[in-house]
Chain A
Amino acid sequence: MLKYAIRRMIFVLPTLWAVVTFVFFLIRIVPGGPAVAALGSYATEESIRELEKQMGLDKPILMQYGIFLKDLCRGDLGKSLITNKPISQEISRALPYTLDLAIGGMIIGILFGIPTGIITALRRNRPPDYIGRILSLVGISMPEFYLGILLMYVLAIKLPLFPVLGGGDLSNLSSRLYHLFLPALTLGIIMTAFISRMVRSSMLNVLREDYVRTAKAKGLHERVVIYKHALRNALIPTVTVIGIYMSILMGGSVLTEIIFSRPGLGKMMVFAVKDRDYIALQSVIIIFSAFVFLFNLITDLLYSIIDPRIEYH
């Protein structure tokens, strides 16, 4: 298993490198160069050159790239064009808020999505199924920021049950969770919808197979065993898909953080775009991608754990 993990990680590295390179060059093809874009057209030659020197843009591009990679390996993500402070500081401050949100949303999604998926699969084409399917369809059709606004309006404004903004104090667990609830619920509801659909369709797949049909005819005890088996098999594609769903979650966190004013990576990214702080943008996107890769890796590993056991059944 460990060998597999290492093999996978090595496989992932070139892609990660490619992503990093892609972002690096993309930032630099901004018309006029990122310094001009940050300062605006008609900027005085002096100020452009000053900023370019600061960004290290006056060197030949391959050299810049080399320096960039070297810094990256050292963990130096550069300095923000606006605050001139190291970005890694800002990122490490913001990261927990985004991770909390992604993980929280995922937990809620799994907690409610799997049972819903199972129930709708088992009670196919009967009322619970219809209700479940409509609800999940509603869930995936909701823009997450709209759902966030609705939840905020009902649960934080009309009924002042929850705080409206901020991330709370990270060191204080109750404050942390209290501020996490609504944003996580927003993403969690959407995740529930996605996951329940996924679970439902994989369960239906498995349940259709012949041996399951025969088992149904045979009797309760066998049925329970087979259903358990079906569930396990159905969960495999779900696990596979978690990696993709984490990607959706990370994307959804951007808007949710804006609505609830959570000081996370997503909010940082949007502000970097608006402030034209290209160095910050570059670094945040790299970190984001790194996490997506990490989640995909974890998913792959989980898959490889679950898979061999089932094979031998």
Chain B
Amino acid sequence: MSISQREILIRTFKSNKTSVVGLFMAFGVVIIALIAPWISPYDPIAQDMNIQHGPPGWAHPFGTDSYGRDQFSRILWGSRVSLVVGILSVLFAMAAGIPLGMLGGYKGGRIDNLVLRFIDIFMSFPIVILGLLVLAIMGPGLIKIVIAIGVALTPRIARLARGSTLSVKGKEYIEAARAVGQRDWKIMLIHVLPNIFGEILVMGTLWVATAIIVEASLSFIGLGVRPPTPSWGAMIRDGLDQLTNAPWLSIFPGLAIFTSVFAFNLIADGLRDISDPKLRG
């Protein structure tokens, strides 16, 4: 990231309260995910038939499910799945999409057309549906979900990278490098990439939010991680059967998803308010 972009980032957080709040919240979620095994009061998969469907109380702040498992511990552990999938899938999409977008934007011409075509094709699928399709073929499992969502996000990141590349392409330092005779791929790596990375990072946080929702959606449908691993989406689904007698089983996991997504959206909003030149005025 170039110095000016770093400056902007720091300035953002210094002046923009919302993104700071978001950052703290997101940090909180990440910390929870990291230390969940140590702060969970109970084993998230230990069953106890004596306390089925227990309401929230001192011993179990979020209640217990049909197997007597502590919901609070399960929500803490569930953050790991959501974050791992959320962050890894975006990283996957960036690793695949940025080179693609850069290639198309920088080279232009036929290659660009090809890239655009590819983007168009994949963008015609809503993310959940593409994820569904990929999982239908690969079967359930954590890594497979990361790949499924990553594949779905790749075209969107690619399009972003392409757009940014296009706007950077005309800049002087690029012209200079070309005049000196630097190879294309070197130019892309050394000059283009650092300058578009900031924008992509901003959108990246937004996509993490989306990825978390998509993972929850796929788990909710039943294509998520295998039981008994706790996943917020699957918890909502199991809780749905008890909506009339134990609504807390669906409500709390949903709040967890909402909070995490909200946090990342706050960060993204803050970053965008500052770094988007169009809105700067």
Question: Which A residues fall within an 8 A CB radius of B?
Answer: 14-15, 18-19, 22-23, 26-27, 29-30, 137-138, 140-146, 149-150, 153, 157, 201, 204-205, 208, 247-248, 250-252, 254-255, 258, 269-270, 273-274, 276, 278, 281, 285, 288-289, 292-293, 296
Which residues 161-204 of B sit at the A interface, judged by CB distance below 8 A?
none
**Residues on B with beta carbons closer than 8 Å to the beta carbon of A270:** 132, 221
Kindly report which residue of chain A lies nearest to residue B209, judged by CB atoms. A141
Contact A273 B128, CB 8 Å, known A26-B133, A145-B236? no
Verify A143–B258 contact, CB threshold 8 A. Answer: yes
Q: How far is the CA of A269 from the CA of B133 in the complex (A)?
A: 9
Interface residue B96 (Cβ < 8 Å from any Cβ of A) = no
Kindly report which residue of chain B lies nearest to residue A152, judged by CB atoms. B243
Pair count A-B, CB < 8 A: 117
How far is the CB of A216 from the nearest CB of chain B, in Å?
14
Contact A274 B278, CB 8 Å, known A149-B236, A285-B129, A289-B125? no
**Residues on A with beta carbons closer than 8 Å to the beta carbon of B233:** 143
How far is the CB of B86 from the nearest CB of chain A, in Å?
13
Interface residue B149 (Cβ < 8 Å from any Cβ of A) = no
Ordered by A's residue number, 5 sampled pairs between the chains whose C-beta atoms are within 8 Å are A15-B124, A141-B209, A149-B250, A258-B220, A288-B129
Verify A141–B262 contact, CB threshold 8 A. Answer: yes
Q: How far is the CA of A18 from the CA of B122 in the complex (A)?
A: 10
Verify B133–A258 contact, CB threshold 8 A. Answer: no
Q: How far is the CA of A265 from the CA of B117 in the complex (A)?
A: 26
Most chain B CB within a 10 A radius of its CB, from A30, A146, A281, A288: A146
**Residues on B with beta carbons closer than 8 Å to the beta carbon of A205:** 278-279
Contact A142 B258, CB 8 Å, known A251-B128, A288-B129, A289-B125? yes
Q: How far is the CA of A182 from the CA of B157 in the complex (A)?
A: 33
**Residues on B with beta carbons closer than 8 Å to the beta carbon of A250:** 126, 129
Interface residue B154 (Cβ < 8 Å from any Cβ of A) = no
Verify A146–B236 contact, CB threshold 8 A. Answer: yes
If over half of B's interface residues share one DSSP class (helix, strand or loop), that class is named, otherwise mixed; here it is helix
Q: How far is the CA of A269 from the CA of B220 in the complex (A)?
A: 15
Partner of A255, one of B120, B220, B243, B266: B220
If over half of A's interface residues share one DSSP class (helix, strand or loop), that class is named, otherwise mixed; here it is helix
**Residues on B with beta carbons closer than 8 Å to the beta carbon of A22:** 121
Interface residue B223 (Cβ < 8 Å from any Cβ of A) = yes
Q: 9 extra interchain contacts, Cβ-Cβ under 8 A, other than A19-B121, A269-B129?
A: A137-B269, A149-B236, A150-B251, A247-B126, A258-B220, A258-B221, A273-B136, A285-B125, A288-B129
**Residues on A with beta carbons closer than 8 Å to the beta carbon of B216:** 143, 145-146
Q: How far is the CA of A170 from the CA of B233 in the complex (A)?
A: 32
Contact A140 B265, CB 8 Å, known A149-B236, A255-B128? yes
Interface residue B160 (Cβ < 8 Å from any Cβ of A) = no
Question: Which B residues fall within an 8 A CB radius of A?
Answer: 117, 120-121, 123-129, 132-133, 135-137, 209, 213, 216-217, 220-223, 233, 236, 240, 243-244, 247, 250-251, 254, 257-258, 261-262, 265-266, 269, 278-279, 281
Most chain A CB within a 10 A radius of its CB, from B127, B133, B233, B269: B133
Q: How far is the CA of A285 from the CA of B131 in the complex (A)?
A: 12
Contact A145 B220, CB 8 Å, known A204-B279, A289-B125? yes
Verify B126–A251 contact, CB threshold 8 A. Answer: yes
How far is the CB of A4 from the nearest CB of chain B, in Å?
18
Kindly report which residue of chain A lies nearest to residue B257, judged by CB atoms. A143
Q: How far is the CA of A153 from the CA of B247 in the complex (A)?
A: 9
Kindly report which residue of chain A lies nearest to residue B253, judged by CB atoms. A146
Verify B266–A137 contact, CB threshold 8 A. Answer: yes
Q: How far is the CA of A94 from the CA of B158 in the complex (A)?
A: 34
How far is the CB of A275 from the nearest CB of chain B, in Å?
10
Partner of B126, one of A27, A208, A248, A281: A248
Verify A292–B124 contact, CB threshold 8 A. Answer: yes
